[in-house]
């Protein structure tokens, strides 16, 4: 269904994840095939317990897949075993995570929460702060840059978390229910921002969601059923927000 000249930012082939062993083993993923291209925001849907979080965690090198192959930006990172030695570097520089809750550092201000990551990756303080400010402008929270996390609203904190996920300009963003704490209008705002950011930075974004409100925004989505991912065309509607 996807027809792209570029090579995928994310490619999964026959990804299997089994938890435990013997009679208590759970095979959460039974052979997932998936491709996500630079600049695309793809939905990942499926009932509770179908393996959505497991899939993101395998992709993000948070847990070890059992078998199959993962290719990120043309590099095979997993082929029945990890093919790269520094998984921490992979998580820090190549993948941005957005969770249901923002998980920000409460005693730092909004800018410091975002600039920390580029600084850890070796960028100067000045460059890292400038990067945070650029993202805050896109996300419409530049006016809250100096605020402590405890002074932010839920929606503002979530936008700081989105800025943090983009801080090192990762080619891949993995978002697990990013709009769950937001109201309908805010959810659509976040989705339109993610779409804008995907295009602007050529980022490939996977959004796990149960949120009926945002499902019409996806141009393409996968539903996990019986441990496999089934591709569907979405409505790809953009909303004026």
Q: Which stretch binds ligand ATP (CB under 6 A): 48-56, 66-74, 92-100, 114-122?
A: 48-56
Closest to ligand ATP by CB, 19 or 107 = 19
Q: Which one of Mg ion, ligand ATP, none interacts with residue 236, CB within 5 to 8 A by kind?
A: none
Q: Is 21 in the site for ligand ATP (CB under 6 A)?
A: no
Q: Is 49 in the site for ligand ATP (CB under 6 A)?
A: yes
Smallest distance from ligand ATP to CB 31, Å: 15
Q: Give Cβ neighbours of residue 98 (< 8 Å, ≥ 6 apart).
A: 161, 162, 165, 173, 174, 175, 176, 178
Q: Are β-strands 67-72 and 10-19 bridged in parallel, bridged antiparallel, or unpaired?
A: antiparallel
Smallest distance from ligand ATP to CB 198, Å: 22
Q: Is 178 in the site for ligand ATP (CB under 6 A)?
A: no
Among 7, 19, 107, 137, binds ligand ATP (CB under 6 A): 19
Residues in contact with ligand ATP, counted by CB under 6 A, come to a total of 12
Smallest distance from ligand ATP to CB 51, Å: 4
Closest to ligand ATP by CB, 54 or 187 = 54
Q: At what angle do helices 184-201 and 154-166 cross, to 10 degrees?
A: 20
Among 36, 40, 42, 53, binds Mg ion (CB under 5 A): 53
Closest to ligand ATP by CB, 93 or 176 = 176
* Residues near ligand ATP (CB under 6 A): 19-20, 26, 28, 46, 48-54
* Residues near Mg ion (CB under 5 A): 53
């Amino acid at each position: 269904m996807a027809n792209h000249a570029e090579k995928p930012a994310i490619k999964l082939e026959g990804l299997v994840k089994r938890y435990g062993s013997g009679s208590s083993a759970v095979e959460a993923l039974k052979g997932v095939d998936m491709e996500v291209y630079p600049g695309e925001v793809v939905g990942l849907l499926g009932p509770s317990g179908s393996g959505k979080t497991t899939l993101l965690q395998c992709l993000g090198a948070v847990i070890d897949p059992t078998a199959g192959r993962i290719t990120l930006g043309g590099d095979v990172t997993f082929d029945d075993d990890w093919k790269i030695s520094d998984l921490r570097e992979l998580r820090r520089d190549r993948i941005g995570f957005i969770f249901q809750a923002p998980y920000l550092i409460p005693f730092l201000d909004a800018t410091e929460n975002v600039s920390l990551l580029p600084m850890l990756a070796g960028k100067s303080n000045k460059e890292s702060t400038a990067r945070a400010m650029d993202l805050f402008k896109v996300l419409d929270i530049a006016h809250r840059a100096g605020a402590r996390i405890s002074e932010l609203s839920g929606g503002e904190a979530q936008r700081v978390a989105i800025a943090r996920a983009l801080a090192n300009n990762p080619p891949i963003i993995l978002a697990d229910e990013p709009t769950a704490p937001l109201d309908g209008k805010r959810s659509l705002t976040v989705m339109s921002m993610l779409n804008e950011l995907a295009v602007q930075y050529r980022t490939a974004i996977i959004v796990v969601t149960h949120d009926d409100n945002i499902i019409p925004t996806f141009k393409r989505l996968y539903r996990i059923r019986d441990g496999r991912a089934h591709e569907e065309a979405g409505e790809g509607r953009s909303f004026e927000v």
